[in-house]
Structure 1
Amino acid sequence: MVIEYVGQIIRQVIADMREQRYEEEGIGSSYLFRVDQDTIIDATKCGNLARFINHSCNPNCYAKIITVESQKKIVIYSRQPISINEEITYDYKFPIEETKIPCLCGADSCRGSLN
């Protein structure tokens, strides 16, 4: 285990409203992490360092949803030993959409987009 992705637990309808508000404020919505169909963790204003972990198409970590005392949590686990000063990354696995988000990870196996 590397770190838990923490933030405010919200429902989809609230996430949609916040996403729009964040975009209007110029914040963006990159710190909204879906747990399941109805639950999102919003780390935008009250998250930890996990929100700053970048995407990679060839990551050294992965995100996993676990249940602790009936509460779902997102935990980042390492795939391999991670060296000092090595960037921690995981595949965001964004859903496939028509509008592509460019990927700049630089991996040899880069897909070219986050979705």
Structure 2
Amino acid sequence: MVIEYVGQNIRQVIADMREKRYEEEGIGSSYMFRVDHDTIIDATKCGNFARFINHSCNPNCYAKIITVESQKKIVIYSRQAINVNEEITYDYKFPIEDVKIPCLCGAENCRGTLN
């Protein structure tokens, strides 16, 4: 285990409203991670360092949803030993959409987009 992705648990309707509000406030990025169909963790304003972990098409970590005392949590686990000063990355696995988000991970096997 590397770190838990923490923030506020919110519903989709709230996530949509917050995303719009964050754009209006000039917040460049929102840090929302879907747990399941009903729940999203919003780490934009009250998260930890996990929200800053970058995507890679060849990651050294992976995200896993676990249940602790009937509450779902997102935990980042390592796939391999991680050296000091090595960047921690995981595959965001964004859903496929018409508007593509370019991937800049630089991996040999880079897919070219995050979605």
- Please, what TM-score do these two structures have when normalized by structure 2? 0.98
> For structure 1, which runs of at least 5 residues remain unmatched after alignment?
none
CA-to-aligned-CA distance 1:15-59 (integer Å, 9 cap, x gap): 000011111112145300000001000000000000000000000
The residue identity in structure 2 corresponding to 1:44 is: T
1:34-113 pair list within 5 angstroms: 34-113=34-113
How far apart, in 2, do the equivalents of 1:101 and 1:36 lie? 22
Structure 1 outlier segments of 4+, above 3 Å = none
The count of residues paired between Structure 1 and Structure 2 equals 115
How far apart, in 1, do the equivalents of 2:21 and 2:99 lie? 20
How far apart, in 2, do the equivalents of 1:20 and 1:60 lie? 32
> Is the Cα–Cα contact under 8 Å of residues 22 and 30 in structure 2 kept in the other structure?
no
The residue identity in structure 2 corresponding to 1:5 is: Y
- Counterpart residue number, 2:16: 16
RMSD of aligned residue pairs (Cα, Å)? 0.8
> Is the Cα–Cα contact under 8 Å of residues 19 and 29 in structure 1 kept in the other structure?
no
CA-to-aligned-CA distance 1:45-82 (integer Å, 9 cap, x gap): 00000000000000000000000000000000000000
